[in-house]
Amino acid sequence: MTLRPDLDVRPVTEAEHPAWIRTLHTGFLRPPKVSAAEVAGRGAALASSRTLGAFDAGAPRVGGAAPVVATFRSFDQELTAVGGTPVPANAITNVSVAATHRRRGLLTRMMTQDLAAAKERGDVVATLIAAEYPIYGRYGFGPAAWAAQWTVDVPRAGLDPRWSGPEGGGRIDLADGAEVRRTGPGLHERLRRVQPGAVSRGERWWRIATGELRVSDEPWTEPFHAVYRSADGTVEGLVTYDCDDTWGDAKQPQNTLRVRDLVAVTPAAERALWHYLCSVDWITSVRSGWRAPDDLLPLLLPDPRAAGIVTQADFLWVRILDVRRALETRTCEGRGALVLDVADPAGLAGGRLLLDASPEGVSCTPTTRSADLALEVGELAALWLGDESAVRLAALGRVREERAGAARKADALLRTSRRAWCPDIF
């Protein structure tokens, strides 16, 4: 790795936004052009001292300035812990380093700077959606919530073709973007209060999802929105989807419906919305979008084999910055005490801590007692949302039992009955 003193990492100014966006597009292999509309659409999100750029003073100047050769941005977010309490999170996004400047330590510089600032602010975790698995473990991140995507072969699913709506008095109605902006945020707030791994959505998220705010020059396709209401009229579910227009030579419909977002706060709403999506005439295939790996979807179908997993992968990565607060914020179903020896080579978190957990509450205090389980902070992140098994990590040699049976005990305390899920890419 060649470290170069003429590579300056610093917050970008408003005048530098167009160059910064162009570098981001280049890094993400999108056409390297930027319109005034895109600069305006992204402006509010970029206007922060947490929008970093790397500038190469040794490169030919572009418009009289050193070119932007790397991008990085973080923003305030809340991440729901097991039990439903949110923790303050430093959400990291828009990470790119120009191919001409790769492997010179630019990502490491930007990440180190940003994580130190997040720790200083008092954020409990940092979060990101990783483009590639091998990038972020070195910075103490661990894959904390996985996701799966299904394709449903609708004709094979065995659903009753006469179905005309939900049972039990509930109803489904189509909605427009304005209604989604009114009802969606409240519904999503209900979801994230109970869904470990869910992250907060600001008003901007809803404006982008409904096409009111454009942050890219890609053509916008207006989606369909459908709302589920229970028998008493309460909104309990919302789905946003689009469809293609494909017909076979024998004049048979072969259309695919793609779910962009499905939020349901009751099992009845979730069941009804999936049933609805798989019952839209002309649709022969439904793409589920990113769901929890234990989503209800396949088992809702009379023939679950009609739902094939097309992708199953790590999704939300978490970097714990404050082990004590992270553990004390979550709940535990089990009861017991465990001494964790948490190693953090970056020195941001870690130490030896006594986890004392019961359904009544969790305490986590520094201790000098001998350790039961030794692990790195990234492994703890994978365990923290309850999605990973300490027994599994021990078998992989990634956590070490200092006392026989400690991994099984950790699982009894930390694992959850349903898996963590992050519905959002950010």
- Find the helix or strand (DSSP H, E) in which 274 lies: helix 267-277
Distances (CA, A) of 349 to 1, 32, 44, 45: 27, 39, 32, 29
Asked whether 309 and 148 are in contact (CB, 8 A), the reply is: yes
Q: Is 55 a catalytic residue?
A: no
Tell me if 108 is assigned to a ligand binding site.
yes
Tokens of 35: 């319109």
- Residue 64, classed as helix, strand or coil, is coil
Tell me if 97 is assigned to a ligand binding site.
yes
Tell me if 213 is assigned to a ligand binding site.
no
Q: Return the sign of the alpha-carbon dihedral for residues 288, 265, 293, 87.
A: positive
Q: Is 139 a catalytic residue?
A: no
Block residue for tokens 């709940």: 331
74 binds ligand ACO (CB under 6 A): no
Catalytic residue among 136, 139, 141, 241: 136
Span near ligand ACO by CB under 6 A; candidates 4-12, 79-87, 129-137, 254-262: 129-137
Tokens of 142: 């661990």
CA 96/CA 20 separation, integer angstroms: 10
Span near ligand ACO by CB under 6 A; candidates 87-95, 178-186, 194-202, 289-297: 87-95
Comparison of 48 and 416: residue with beta carbon closer to ligand ACO: 48
Comparison of 69 and 332: residue with beta carbon closer to ligand ACO: 69
Span near ligand ACO by CB under 6 A; candidates 106-114, 168-176, 305-313, 398-406: 106-114
Asked whether 370 and 131 are in contact (CB, 8 A), the reply is: no
Q: Find the binder of ligand ACO among 13, 35, 100, 108 (CB under 6 A).
A: 108
23 binds ligand ACO (CB under 6 A): no
CB of 147 to ligand ACO, least distance (A): 15
Tell me if 96 is assigned to a ligand binding site.
yes
Give the residues across from 357 on adjacent strands.
336, 362
Q: Find the binder of ligand ACO among 47, 131, 178, 310 (CB under 6 A).
A: 131
Tell me if 419 is assigned to a ligand binding site.
no
313 binds ligand ACO (CB under 6 A): no
Between CA 93 and CA 95, with CA 94 as vertex, the angle to 5 degrees is 95
Span near ligand ACO by CB under 6 A; candidates 99-107, 201-209, 227-235, 362-370: 99-107
134 binds ligand ACO (CB under 6 A): yes
Residue 381 DSSP class? H
Q: Find the binder of ligand ACO among 66, 68, 97, 307 (CB under 6 A).
A: 97
- Find the helix or strand (DSSP H, E) in which 329 lies: helix 323-329
- Residue 88, classed as helix, strand or coil, is strand
Tell me if 265 is assigned to a ligand binding site.
no
Query: Length of the chain in residues, anyone?
Result: 426
* Binding residues for ligand ACO (CB under 6 A): 1, 27-28, 92-97, 102-108, 128-132, 134-135, 138
Which positions are annotated as active-site residues? Answer: 136, 426
Binding-site residues from annotation for acetyl-CoA: 95-97, 103-108
